[in-house]
Structures are given as C-alpha cells and as structure tokens.
Amino acid sequence: MTNYVLRQGLVHSASSQEIADVLIVDGKIAQIAKKIDAPSGTVEIDTKDCWVGPGFVDIHTHLREPGREEAETIESGALAALMGGYTAIVAMPNTEPALDNVALVSYVLDKGARTPIDVAVAGAITQGRKGELLAPMAEMAELGVRLFTDDGTGVQSPSLMRRALSYAKPLGVTLAQHCEDEDLAGGGSMNEGEYSAKLGLIGRPALAEELMLLRDLELVKLTGAKMHFLHMSTQNSIALITAAKKAGLPVTFEIAPHHFTLDESACSDFDALFKVHPPLRTKADVASLRDALRDGLVDAVATDHAPHAPELKDLAFDEAPAGMLGLEHAASLTVDAIGDANSSRFFEVMSRGPARIAQLRHSDVRIRHSAQGGDLVVGEDANLVVFDPSAKYVVDRDQLHSRSTNTPYHGRELRGKARVTIAKGRAFNEQGEIA
Amino acid sequence: MSSTNERQTPNGGLTFFAKSQLLSADDVARGLKRMAHEIVERNESLDDVVIIGLQTGGKPFAERIVELLRDISKSEVPMGMLDVSFYRDDLSLHPVAKSAQTIIDVDLTGKTVILVDDVLYTGRTIRASFNALSDYGRPKAIQLCVMVDRGHRELPIRPDFVGKNLPTSEVEAIVANLEGVWIGEKK
Amino acid sequence: MITSIRGGNLLSLNNVSKEAILEVLDTAESFVEVNKRTIKKVPALKGRVVASLFFEESTRTRLSFETAAKRLSADVLSLAVASSSVKKGESLRDTISTIDALGIDAVVMRHQSSGAALQVSRYVPHVHVLNAGDGQHQHPTQGLLDTFTVRQVLAEQRGTTGLESGAELFQGLRVLIVGDIRHSRVARSDIAAYAALGAEVRIAGPGTLLPSSLEGWPVTVVDDFDEALAWADVVGLLRLQKERGTGSFVPGLGEFTQSFGLTLERQKLLKPSALIMHPGPMNRGVEIDSRVADSSQAIIERQVTNGVPVRMAALYLTIAGTSEGSDND
C-alpha cells in the first residue's frame, strides 16, 4: 500500500484544528504532528490552504442498482461520491426490487466492497416498500444494516409506523422517515404556494411534511425508539424537530443541499431538473435552513443524490420522476451556506454527524464493514478529505462522474472542492489514484 | 414634417432623416390635379371606376384624388383601402406592418380599379396588391397612379399616372405626403 | 416582460405587455375582414408548415387553429397524438424532434401537463411554439380571443371600432370570472390579459376551486356572488372540469349550480348591458342555464367565431414577424 504524508493543511481532528502534517501508513493514520519526517518512499501531498478532515459521509444516496443501472450503478455512484469528498455512503433501499431482504442487501454490500469507498445499506422498513408488512429488519441488522427507511415515500400508516418503531427499538437500529403525507401531497409536483398556483401545477404543501413529522415525533415519544428524519425542508419542520430534541427525544435530522440552495421559483421554467420530493420550498424556508445550519441545529447534510436517466427528465414536469444529483456538489453548497470561517461545523454536518447517525464510526463495529468514518484518530483507518475551500469551478453536467446528468447546478459557479479523497487508505484525485 | 426633418416610418423601427425637399406642398397639389384630369381623360366614364388607396402611404393621395374627381366630373367615385401585408412575397425581409385595415365594400368584378400609392419603387407592393385584389373580384382593368416614381423596378410594372419622376440612388429614401416630397436616409 | 410576440412564441400571457396584446388584437381586426370575404384566404404563410400537435383531444381548438393556419395558406401537419402511438410517458423531446425532422416552422400544441409547451420551445428553439392549452397553466389564445371579443362588442355598442378604441374600453372595465379558477388555464390567461389591458378583475367560486395561493394575482375574491353579478360589466364563466377530478372539490354539481351557477334568477341581477362569456364546451345546466347561454347577453358564439382571426393573428405575428427594420417601396 502506498504511504502518504499530507503537508501543512488545516487538520480537523476530533479535538483540535491546527496546521499540521498527517502521516498515513498501511492505510491507517500513523501520526498527526506539526512537522513529520516521513520515511523515504512516502508520497508527499501538499495540502497548504486546504482543510484536512474526516472524509464526508452521505447517509442518503440513491444508487440505482439493482434495477436502473442506466441511471447509476453502485460503482458509478461510489466514484461520484469519492470525487465529491465522500469516503462512506449509505445506499437507499428504493431500488427495483427494493432492498428489503438479506440477499439483496448482501448483493449491494458485496458490490460496494469492490469500490474504493465504504458503501453501507439502508434497508426497507416494509416489504417492497409497500407500507403494508414489516420487512425482516432483524436479519438485515445482523448483516450490519443500521438504518431502515422506505424513503421515496414515507410509511403512511400510523399503526404500521408504530409497530415498526417498537420492532426496531431492541435491534439497536434507527428508522429514517421520508416525511410526506401522500394524501395531502398526492399528485403534487412542486411546493404548494404562490408559484404552483401561477404555474398551474398541483402543489405538495409544507403541511404534508410537517403533519407526518408531528405524528412521528409523537410515535417516538410513545415507543422510545430512535428516529432520523430525512431531508427536512421547511422552517416549521426545523422548529418542530429542534423543540423535540430539546425535550430529549432520541431524534436526529438531515437537510439536503438543494433545499438550502434553491427555492420554488426555480420551477418557473417547468424544467423537471428542479423537481424533487419534498419539493423546493419558499425563499423564507431556504433562509431558515441556512440559519439552522449556521446555528449548529442541523445533525447532518445529506445529499438525497437521485440519479435519473435524461429521457425521464425530458418528460412533462408532472410526469417526470422527482430527484436530483447531489454527491459531487454538496460540499461546495454547504460551505457556501455555513461560511468558510466555520470549518469545524462544516465537518460536523458533513462527516461526524452523519457517521454518528448511520453508526459508521470506528466504535460502531459491524460485520462486513472495515472502514470507519467521522473522525481523524491516530491508529484508525485513513478516511480523509483534503478540501480546498477557495477553489472555484463552474458545474458542467457533462463532466460529472455520476452516470446521470440531472444536476440542477449546471453552469453555476461554485466554490470549495475536494482536492484529494483518501478512502480506506488509498488517495484519489481527479486524475485517479495517487501512487 | 415641415417643422422637423426627422420622422418615424410607418412600420416603426427606422427613422427617416430628410436631406432636402424635392417637391413643395404646392407641387404635390398640382401633380395630383393633373393626374385627376388624366384619369378623367383616360376613362370614358367614371361610373365603373373604383379608387383603391394602398395602406398606409397611398391613403391620403387616394382621398385627395376622389375629392378632385368630384370637383371635375361632379360624380362620386367609390373608394377603398387595401393593405397588402398578408400578400407580400418578402415577409421575411420586412417587419409585419402595424396592421392597417383593408376596406373594400364594392365587388370589383367588371370595374376599373385605380390603385393609388405614394412612391413606386421595386414594384413588389403593386404585385402583392394584384393578388389581393383578385380576392375581391375580377376587375375589368387595373390602372396605377403614384405620386413619385423613383425607379429601380424589380418587376415589369409601369405606372399609368405619375405625379413626378424622381431618379434616385438605392441607398436614398423618399418620403411623400400631401405636404411635400423629401429625399434623405433611413437609420 | 414580452413586448411583442413577433417572430417568437406564444406560450403564456403572464408577463406579456399591454402593447403586445394590443398588437395581436389589432392584427386580428384585419383578419376579421379576411374571414368575411368570399375568398377567405391570404397567402401570408404560403409554404410555411404548421404542425398541430394535440396530446389531449380538443376538436374545437384544433379546428380553430387549423382553419386559421389554412386561411393564411400554411400547410398543416395535423397529428392527433392523443390517439396515435405516442402515449403518455414518451419524452416530449423525442416527440417534438421527430416532428421537427419533417421540417416545420411552427407547432401548435395542446398537452395535459402544465408547462409542456414551454418545455418544447426549449427543445426546438428554431420553431415557433404556440400553446393551445397546457394542463392547468395557460391557454393564451383563449385569453386573447376573449378580450378581443369584449373589445369588439363594446366598440360596436359605442359606435366605434376595436382598432380605434385600442385599450381604452378596458380602463376600469369590471370583469367577474366565476367557477373553477383553480384548475383553469383559461382563467389564468384571461386574468392576465384583462389585467394587462387595464380591467379590474374579481373572481368567484367555491373555496376549494380557488387557487391555493393568490399571491401576485391581479384579482380580488368576491365575498358575495350576487352583489358581484350586479357589479360586473363582463361575466366570464368557466367549464366545471369534471374530468379533472373536480368531484372531490365540490359536494355535487347541483350544489355548485345552487351556489355559483348562472341561473335565470341570477341573470336578472346583471346589468342589462353586462356580457356573458364561456370558453366552451359548456355544461349546460351546471355553470350556466341553457336559456342564459342562448340569451342576447351571451356572446359565446362570437367567442368561437373570433377564435379564427385571433389565431390567424397569433400565427401570422409569430411566424412571419421579424423585429428588423425595412424600407418602403
């Protein structure tokens, strides 16, 4: 294995930030110090003016394998993640068929193990994500699955959700919910409000999200089970969940880069690239999400990376599938929202928080998972990112590593880029592996 | 026009800058009077004559001709207005004119139509007007009356009554109305 | 703000200026004359190809547009997509590219999805796109022909012409639009057109059939429908779109008629000079009583008649129009 020394970056370890060198030997972090005399044969990587921190962890990635390999495979999704600075991702279970049993979870874990990064799996809560019968969560948990979700849609039935929480609680796993009451949101293709009314598109009201969130917070109170809330998108949702956390409920939540970057007005040209569930919300919601991010209220930024083949995004707005790419630009958008003076908070929401939620830390020992994320600790696996917060670039959808091109940021100038990602001890940059 | 030497062309867009006045209002009035007499001489009777003014520049001249014919022959000659925008063969070269109404209340079959326009140039407007007129009947004859013939014909069309022949260069522009005729350029 | 549709598209009446709307109405006046002749045809679009692409069947609108195109001497490629092999789910880009490959100058398009015409205009920027109704979004030619008809009738009453009156007759004109505003593309286009021309627009309908948000709409919602009827100079009724699932928005057609139908009794509340309009097809006995529809206050047939000259103007201005200057001859 190639050994590396990262020179003079701003190193974000668990307890401190300082300009230092990081020595990586045999895939482990060997030393962090002001100045390291590396043994000969060590590859030098200049990280001056860069942030060196724990590799990003995305707990909300849609890989389209099995079923929609033309949009994304486990391999292509992992590569997009690696180039975005991610060293671990959690694959969502809404593939075709859904990841609701041990065989399918094993398939994704095995294929994921052949990629440079750590690919974990979120299992489905219900069989076939149909919201009718519980999926074999205990068996999947034995394989190391720590998150369960029917994401794509939420579990609509309150009684089923209550049973799922009761069942999951002793397994030590977390249920993650896509909060949208389909009865209220049903048929809608963008946020309900000023723009949907003008554009003649059926709206998905904020209330659809908030009502299910409220319901589930009560169910958490009732069952005592842990719960994670996916892509919270409204001002009111943030307020509700922040209050619940203050009250001591075992809940966490994530927000998605598009929800704190883009607002509903982006749908004005009926470009289905901007169609996503939950939908892009109001400018006030965007502002409140950014505030929450800066104020440290947010547990994680998660991409909801959702590749779709181009022909599907060429359908009419109300017929096109929802979802947009996220992995390759999430870090830039997060820096933009948090500001570059607050790099420790950046790594909190990009790496530590998500690793904690998905139980991907070193302490979270799991079968078939060797890698760990979330922190820089001497002696542990080297999962790092060298992030240049001042690098400017223009998004070009034809230069993405994802197999799909449905990014809503094409042509936009962004700032902040992963220069080098070190996953399981192997360093990669845009040109490939550094050896 | 007399107070300023700038004006908007009927189609909008370009502005006409006059360089010099070629005919005075009196010259125009004399020309019209002469043409009216020629019309009476040429046509045995005015009973079957219809005056059609081409929108928009020909309209004031047509109205004046009708008045003059009334003075000369004491007969009321019917008048119509024709806009040829929809019949042009060069729509892509010309902007759509702010549409001027076509008003032709008489069946033209068997009539002698006298087309009246301000300036005769390439002849394309006149060609378009032949097509347009054929949609209103089958005239016995069509005669052409123009205030100014500036040359540069692109089609085999020759006026029957001319107020004034004014050879011009193609880069120049001509504006003719009841107050006079000017030469200048459009920018 | 679009200040002219010359050489462009006609996708929506939102953000279209008063001048641009007047240009269409004024041009349509010339085509009214053409439609009265024995030979109802001018060669303005000779050799141009207009594709009519109806993903959602609408015989009336399709015939009106195709008649308009033919009277301008354009060749019409009529594709009834709704009944052809193209089914819901085919990418709009594929459908339009195939037709574009046949060599077309313009496409007249009806689609069940909001925004479909705008999407198509992005895929074929060299083709003029005329929206003949997209989902619940816009139906611009309907908004144009409705305002054209109102201007024509009011001008006649005052002994003038539409062309001479310009936008004058719309100043302070009181327009009441009634019924299923929420799902209506006609309402969205009508409101935009009336407001741009200077009219005062109010809307009335059951709470469930009003838009979910009226932010930015140049309208007020009436509290008392009967009072509003006495107030209005023009009453625009809308089709209760049963096929769009209005069923769950109102308890029943009978109750809708009770509350918002233009019945014979309610017609008596109208000013004698007030005009009654409906874009068709009417649900007689639901939003309008049959006898009201056939009364002299109703100008519904004129709306249909005017569809052709207004659509001729829209086709002519978009396809033949350029914004460049010219010389006289």
Residue C79 pLDDT: 82
Nearest CA among C58, C68, C8 for reference residue C32: C68
Sign of CA dihedral A16, A19, A24, A30: negative
Q: Which of A196, A197, A270 sits opposite C214 (nearest CB)?
A: A197
For testing contact with chain B, the best of C27, C41, C324, C327 (most B CBs within 10 A): C327
Please indicate, yes or no, if residue B52 is contained in any of the structural domains: yes
Return the SS3 of A147.
Answer: strand
Average pLDDT, rounded, for chain A: 95
- Contact assignment for A193 to C211 by CB distance below 8 Å: no
| Cβ neighbours of B91 in C, within 8 Å | 44, 320
Is the predicted pLDDT of residue B13 greater than 90, yes or no? Answer: no
Query: Rounded to whole angstroms, what are the CA distances from B61 to A230, A394, B184?
Result: 78, 63, 21
Residue of A370 and B38 predicted with greater confidence: B38
Q: What is the mean pLDDT of residues A257-278?
A: 98
Q: Which of C38, C317, C329 sits opposite B122 (nearest CB)?
A: C329
Confidence class for position B178, pLDDT limits 50, 70, 90: very high
Please indicate, yes or no, if residue A211 is contained in any of the structural domains: yes
Phi, psi of C159 (to 5 degrees): 70, 25
Chain A's closest residue to C133, CA to CA, is A200
Nearest CA among A91, A96, A152 for reference residue A120: A91
Task: Specify whether A299 is located in the same domain as A340.
Answer: yes
Q: Do chains A and B touch (3 or more CB pairs under 8 A)?
A: no
SS3 readout for A353-422: HHHHHCCCCCCCCECCECCCCCCCCCCCECCEEEEEEEEEEECCHHHCCCCCCCCCCCCCEEEEEEEEEE
When divided into structural domains, chain A yields a total of: 2
Domain boundary among A326, A357, A388: A357
DSSP 3-state helix, strand, coil percentages of chain A (rounded to 5)? 30, 25, 45
Percentage of chain A beyond pLDDT 90 is 91
According to DSSP H, which parts of chain B are helical? 25-42, 59-73, 124-134
Both tokens of residue B23?
Answer: 């005919």
Q: How far is Cα C277 from Cα C279, in angstroms, rounded to an integer?
A: 7
Query: Rounded to whole angstroms, what are the CA distances from C105 to A303, A379, C23, C174, C317?
Result: 43, 69, 21, 39, 13
Is the predicted pLDDT of residue C75 greater than 80, yes or no? Answer: yes
Contact A43, A434 (CB under 8 A): yes
Residue B175 pLDDT: 92
Please indicate, yes or no, if residue B174 is contained in any of the structural domains: no
Please indicate, yes or no, if residue B148 is contained in any of the structural domains: yes
Nearest CA among A229, A359, A238 for reference residue A302: A229
Q: What is the mean pLDDT of residues A73-95?
A: 97
Task: Specify whether A44 is located in the same domain as A75.
Answer: no
Please indicate, yes or no, if residue A371 is contained in any of the structural domains: no
Is the predicted pLDDT of residue C327 greater than 90, yes or no? Answer: no
Q: What is the mean pLDDT of residues A19-34?
A: 95
- Contact assignment for A317 to C88 by CB distance below 8 Å: no
Chain A's closest residue to C210, CA to CA, is A197
ipTM field: 0.92
pLDDT tens, position by position, C287-321: 999 999 999 999 999 999 999 999 999 999 999 87
Q: How far is Cα B126 from Cα B132, in angstroms, rounded to an integer?
A: 10
- Contact assignment for C322 to B122 by CB distance below 8 Å: no
Both tokens of residue C95?
Answer: 């459908």
Is the predicted pLDDT of residue C246 greater than 60, yes or no? Answer: no
Confidence class for position A1, pLDDT limits 50, 70, 90: confident
Can you list the domains of chain C with their CATH numbers? Answer: 18-138+307-320 (3.40.50.1370), 140-304 (3.40.50.1370)
Task: Specify whether A64 is located in the same domain as A18.
Answer: no
Task: Specify whether A109 is located in the same domain as A187.
Answer: yes
pTM of the entire structure?
A: 0.89
Strand locations in C49-189 (E) = 49-54, 75-79, 106-111, 128-134, 174-178
For testing contact with chain B, the best of C3, C37, C164, C326 (most B CBs within 10 A): C326
Q: What is the mean pLDDT of residues C89-94?
A: 77
Query: Rounded to whole angstroms, what are the CA distances from C221 to C188, C276, C327?
Result: 14, 19, 50
Is the predicted pLDDT of residue C236 greater than 80, yes or no? Answer: yes
Chain C's closest residue to B56, CA to CA, is C328
Nearest-CA distance from B149 to chain C in Å? 10
- Contact assignment for C217 to A197 by CB distance below 8 Å: yes
Sign of CA dihedral C12, C16, C22, C23: negative
| Cβ neighbours of B132 in C, within 8 Å | 42
Q: Which of B91, B125, B135 sits opposite C39 (nearest CB)?
A: B135
Task: Specify whether A221 is located in the same domain as A333.
Answer: yes
When divided into structural domains, chain B yields a total of: 1
Chain B contact partners (≥3 CB pairs within 8 A): C
Q: Quote the longest CA-to-CA distance of chain C.
A: 65
Please indicate, yes or no, if residue A308 is contained in any of the structural domains: yes
Contact A297, A337 (CB under 8 A): no
- A225-229, B76-80, C248-252, range with the lowest pLDDT: C248-252
Q: What is the mean pLDDT of residues A341-367?
A: 88
Q: How far is Cα B43 from Cα A195, in angstroms, rounded to an integer?
A: 69
What lies within 8 Å, CB to CB, of C79 at 6+ separation is C51, C52, C53, C54, C99
Q: How far is Cα C185 from Cα C191, in angstroms, rounded to an integer?
A: 10
What Rg value do the Cα atoms of chain A yield, rounded? Answer: 21
Q: Which helix (H) or strand (E) holds C265?
A: helix C264-267
Nearest-CA distance from C102 to chain A in Å? 21
Both tokens of residue C214?
Answer: 């009226």
Task: Specify whether A149 is located in the same domain as A180.
Answer: yes
Residue C197 pLDDT: 98
Burial of C78 (0-12, 13-18, 19+ CB in 10 A): middle
| Cβ neighbours of C119 in A, within 8 Å | 270-271, 314, 316-317
Is the predicted pLDDT of residue C87 greater than 90, yes or no? Answer: no
Residue ranges making up the domain that contains B117 = 23-169
DSSP for B20-37 reads EEEE-HHHHHHHHHHHHH
Of the CA atoms within 13 Å of residue A17, those in its CB half-sphere come to 15
Task: Specify whether A199 is located in the same domain as A311.
Answer: yes
Please indicate, yes or no, if residue B160 is contained in any of the structural domains: yes
Q: How far is Cα A372 from Cα A380, in angstroms, rounded to an integer?
A: 8
Query: Rounded to whole angstroms, what are the CA distances from A415 to A328, A395, A400, A402, B129?
Result: 12, 10, 16, 20, 63
| DSSP assignment letter at A132 | S
Residue B171 pLDDT: 86
Cα torsion through C122, C127, C132, C138, rounded to 10 = 30
Percentage of chain C beyond pLDDT 70 is 93
Please indicate, yes or no, if residue B113 is contained in any of the structural domains: yes
Query: Rounded to whole angstroms, what are the CA distances from A291 to A239, A334, B77?
Result: 12, 12, 81
Residue C244 pLDDT: 56
Neighbours of C96 (CB within 10 A): 25
What lies within 8 Å, CB to CB, of C222 at 6+ separation is C176, C202, C203, C204, C228
pLDDT tens, position by position, B116-139: 999 999 999 999 999 899 888 899
- Contact assignment for C212 to A192 by CB distance below 8 Å: yes
Q: How far is Cα C205 from Cα C241, in angstroms, rounded to an integer?
A: 13
Nearest-CA distance from C227 to chain A in Å? 26
| DSSP assignment letter at B179 | T
Confidence class for position C239, pLDDT limits 50, 70, 90: very high
Please indicate, yes or no, if residue B30 is contained in any of the structural domains: yes
Peptide bond into C147 cis (omega under 30): no
Q: What is the mean pLDDT of residues C28-40?
A: 89
Q: Which of C14, C113, C134 sits opposite A198 (nearest CB)?
A: C14
Interface residues on B facing C, Cβ-Cβ cutoff 8 A: 9-11, 13-14, 57, 83, 85-88, 91-96, 98-103, 119-125, 131-132, 135-136, 173-174, 186
What does DSSP say about strands A56-61 and A432-433: parallel, antiparallel, or unpaired? unpaired
Task: Specify whether A407 is located in the same domain as A321.
Answer: no
Interface residues on A facing C, Cβ-Cβ cutoff 8 A: 192-194, 196-203, 205, 269-271, 311-312, 314-319
Residue B160 pLDDT: 96
Neighbours of C80 (CB within 10 A): 14
Q: What angle do the packed helices C185-197 and C18-36 form, to 10 degrees? A: 100
Q: What is the mean pLDDT of residues C95-101?
A: 90
| Cβ neighbours of C115 in A, within 8 Å | 199-201, 269-270, 316-317
Is the predicted pLDDT of residue C203 greater than 90, yes or no? Answer: yes
pLDDT tens, position by position, A203-233: 999 999 999 999 999 999 999 999 999 999 9
Nearest-CA distance from C258 to chain B in Å? 46
pLDDT tens, position by position, C153-187: 999 999 999 988 999 999 999 999 999 999 999 99
Is the predicted pLDDT of residue C71 greater than 60, yes or no? Answer: yes
Task: Specify whether A318 is located in the same domain as A424.
Answer: no
Both tokens of residue A373?
Answer: 């994320």
Chain C's closest residue to A199, CA to CA, is C137
Contact C239, C287 (CB under 8 A): yes
Please indicate, yes or no, if residue A231 is contained in any of the structural domains: yes
Residue ranges making up the domain that contains A34 = 4-52+380-433
- Contact assignment for C91 to A269 by CB distance below 8 Å: no
CATH of the domain at B105: 3.40.50.2020
Both tokens of residue C56?
Answer: 């959602």
Both tokens of residue C115?
Answer: 């925004």
Cα torsion through C147, C149, C153, C156, rounded to 10 = 100
- Contact assignment for C92 to A270 by CB distance below 8 Å: no
Residues of A assigned a catalytic role: 304
Task: Specify whether A179 is located in the same domain as A281.
Answer: yes
- A297-306, B5-14, B112-121, B137-146, range with the lowest pLDDT: B5-14
Query: Rounded to whole angstroms, what are the CA distances from A326 to A59, A333, A397, B81?
Result: 12, 10, 12, 65
Q: Which of B14, B91, B135 sits opposite C320 (nearest CB)?
A: B91
| Cβ neighbours of C27 in B, within 8 Å | 96, 99
Window 107-126 of C: residues touching A by CB (8 A cutoff) are: 111-116, 118-119, 122-123
Please indicate, yes or no, if residue B37 is contained in any of the structural domains: yes
Both tokens of residue C44?
Answer: 């303005």
Is the predicted pLDDT of residue A374 greater than 90, yes or no? Answer: no
SS3 readout for A177-234: ECCCCHHHHCCCCEECCHHHHHHCCCEECHHHHHHHHHHHHHHHHHHCCCEEECCCCC
Please indicate, yes or no, if residue B63 is contained in any of the structural domains: yes
Contact C187, A200 (CB under 8 A): no
Task: Specify whether A350 is located in the same domain as A322.
Answer: yes
Burial B103-137 (b: 16+ CB within 10 A, else e): ebeeebeebbbbbbbbbbbbbbbbbbbeebbebbb
Q: What is the mean pLDDT of residues A285-311?
A: 97
pLDDT tens, position by position, B153-170: 999 999 999 999 999 888
| DSSP assignment letter at A305 | B
Query: Rounded to whole angstroms, what are the CA distances from B141 to A179, A183, B39, B49, B114?
Result: 81, 75, 13, 9, 8
- The number of C-beta contacts closer than 8 angstroms across A and C is 83
Task: Specify whether A70 is located in the same domain as A138.
Answer: yes
Strand locations in chain C (E) = 49-54, 75-79, 106-111, 128-134, 174-178, 200-204, 219-221, 234-237, 275-277
Q: How far is Cα A255 from Cα C163, in angstroms, rounded to an integer?
A: 57
Please indicate, yes or no, if residue A372 is contained in any of the structural domains: no
CATH of the domain at A350: 3.20.20.140
For testing contact with chain C, the best of B85, B91, B133, B183 (most C CBs within 10 A): B91
